[in-house]
Chain A
């Protein structure tokens, strides 16, 4: 498990400077007194599938629109390779967009929609390319239809084909799956990933759906209130969040208030409600004083009082089950601890023992290497309500 993958993107860029990375430097966008994007620095490596993840209003769409040329930055620069495209007109940049609502031209049929970009650039014979592109998105033979005659998923694929046919250096996707129902969305996620691998282009995907971002992207940047809170491969972000916002927005977390006792070799020890827990140094993002000890609900083990738990150390006794949700593959418990806090516990339904009933006294525990430590100055609830719908 790579725990230092946070800076993966930047290091890779430093090694090969001749590539066509998309680089945003100190990018800022203000509307009057409101700052939508605040001095953003970002490198999207060429050929990567990059996700900008955040709640609505966090500035991710504004960032995307500035890259597309649809909004002009207040300050900062956007470069593609060596070329500064900050103030280029949208039609002058090798960037194409898949719009949230698709924005298919209603007066043109599917083929004409897909051929639109090629025609504007003076390509004479577009027929073969259009047919090939429609095949790629599995819409072969549908070219004569008007956009309104297609289903939502089909319209989405036309929008994708219309952008991809231009072989853009960067393809921007603005919540492209937001209008689709859950099942179709899952299908399209896999489809998009397949197409990205096939064409090998840089995809920048804006979404508020953390599951979608983690499923598809190589690199996820979590954005909040105009700044990027953390960036890295999905697994690294999930396992080792640096802020309470990331811990809560990307999946769910139990955050326990603790007193930091100090470093102890490769770990940091923290006193949580009288119990001393240890956290690996590389997952500790707070120094001295108070801190939030974070643990993902599925990493928490649950057992009857005094029962055997397959997780040495960090054991908490005196919990009482207050809520049980059976969701098929797993069971989600809420356990009230002696100090009043309710902790989430997800357990696989392996059938090893019966599901606990509400009111059952239980003990909790987790493996120290899964916990993380966050600075106590942050709001423990940041990003909780902003999660996906």
Chain B
């Protein structure tokens, strides 16, 4: 799951090639393209159907749901009234948690980028024969429950925990200062939980860099710092883009960290949506908020990738 997003974009688009009998690829396919001409369709069919039925159609359902009459309920059923006001109402009611989600996700992404770059760089260039082991270790925390790891942060950041005590002793934190139930705790939790999503694509990008390029930069009178900023960093930009997306998107939609480590003042949009669905049964509002989140993220991602593509981000 590391470098595949780029790979998928790089894959040549073969639409329409298969339709004519004399396509230029046929020559190479004498061995590889076994079976009949329809084998590809048969192999793809189950997954394509599944994704259509349980990924694409649900989006249609979600759009529909977001336009339901908000006075309906799960018991009485909903009427489709093209109630676009759902969007206006929910954004008016919940613009704070919405903005907060993006703000927290952005801070967590920046923190992940700093920590993740150091780790990915160390694995790619300094780990030597420990490279594989370190990569396994990056993924290994995933094998404990996400919730349990987040709960551990509750313990680490607890008011009577030694980090909070220590910070109070050092006067960095006030007498009654807390770490838990603050924006810091939520961002720290998000940073921790999504760090591997940053490290893996960064590593994939850094690992591809030919070390001789850095040496050549040194040979051409670049100091190590300049060599890093002029050669290594620009070449790792695909990893930076993929990593920031893979961190930011799930972080913006997360509500576990806000719920377990924050207070009601740190509620994110995920908390609201989840609450509207499961506790209040207000499906129309929940659907509208979900769609809003998706739309904002999609627009943001497209804009970000465009900018990244033109190298404005370098």
Contacts and interface: CB of A to CB of B under 8 A. Distances in A.
Whether the complex brings A and B within 8 Å at their CB atoms is answered: yes
Interface of A: 29, 31-32, 70-72, 90
Contacts of A71: 27-28, 30
B112 to A, nearest CB: 36
A90 B31 contact: yes
Contacts of A29: 27
B24 interface: yes
Interface string B12-29: 000000000000100110
A38 to B, nearest CB: 15
Nearest to B28: A71
Contacts of B24: 31-32
Nearest to A87: B30
Nearest to B23: A32
Contacts of B31: 70, 90
Given A71-B27, A71-B30, 10 more contacts: A29-B27, A31-B24, A31-B27, A32-B24, A70-B30, A70-B31, A71-B28, A72-B27, A72-B30, A90-B31
Nearest to B26: A72
Nearest to B30: A72
Contacts of B27: 29, 31, 71-72
Nearest to B31: A70
Contacts of A70: 30-31
A71 B28 CA distance: 7
A109 B94 CA distance: 64
A31 B31 CA distance: 16
Interface string B204-224: 000000000000000000000
A31 B27 CA distance: 7
CB-CB nearest 8 A-B residue pairs: A32-B24, A72-B30, A31-B24, A31-B27, A70-B31, A71-B27, A71-B30, A70-B30
A72 B28 CA distance: 9
12 contacts: A29-B27, A31-B24, A31-B27, A32-B24, A70-B30, A70-B31, A71-B27, A71-B28, A71-B30, A72-B27, A72-B30, A90-B31
A157 to B, nearest CB: 25
Nearest to B24: A32
A254 B30 CA distance: 45
Contacts of A32: 24
Interface string B25-50: 00110110000000000000000000
Nearest to A73: B27
B274 to A, nearest CB: 47
A179 B31 CA distance: 25
B19 to A, nearest CB: 15
Interface string B186-210: 0000000000000000000000000
B106 to A, nearest CB: 44
B36 to A, nearest CB: 16
A35 to B, nearest CB: 12
Nearest to A34: B24
Nearest to A33: B24
Contacts of A31: 24, 27
A72 B30 CA distance: 7
Nearest to A36: B27
A116 to B, nearest CB: 16
Contacts of B28: 71
A29 B24 CA distance: 12
B238 to A, nearest CB: 28
A70 B27 CA distance: 9
A265 B187 CA distance: 98
Contacts of B30: 70-72
A293 B27 CA distance: 42
Interface in B63-92: none
Contacts of A90: 31
A103 to B, nearest CB: 12
A120 to B, nearest CB: 15
B34 to A, nearest CB: 11
A105 B30 CA distance: 21
A71 B31 CA distance: 8
A90 B32 CA distance: 12
B63 to A, nearest CB: 44
A31 B28 CA distance: 9
Interface string B114-158: 000000000000000000000000000000000000000000000
A71 B29 CA distance: 8
A72 B29 CA distance: 9
A133 to B, nearest CB: 26
A74 to B, nearest CB: 8
A266 B30 CA distance: 53
B286 to A, nearest CB: 51
A93 B232 CA distance: 51
A72 B31 CA distance: 10
A90 B31 CA distance: 9
B107 to A, nearest CB: 45
Contacts of A72: 27, 30
Nearest to A65: B30
A72 B26 CA distance: 9
A27 to B, nearest CB: 14
A380 B306 CA distance: 51
A32 B31 CA distance: 19
A269 B28 CA distance: 51
A71 B24 CA distance: 13
A309 to B, nearest CB: 50
A32 B22 CA distance: 8
A71 B25 CA distance: 11
B16 to A, nearest CB: 15
A90 B30 CA distance: 10
A29 B30 CA distance: 13
A90 B27 CA distance: 14
B122 to A, nearest CB: 27
A71 B30 CA distance: 6
A72 B33 CA distance: 13
Nearest to A29: B27
B174 to A, nearest CB: 61
Nearest to B22: A32
B24 to A, nearest CB: 4
A29 B26 CA distance: 12
Which of A29, A31, A90 gathers the greatest number of chain B CB atoms within 10 Å? A31
Nearest to A30: B27
A32 B27 CA distance: 10
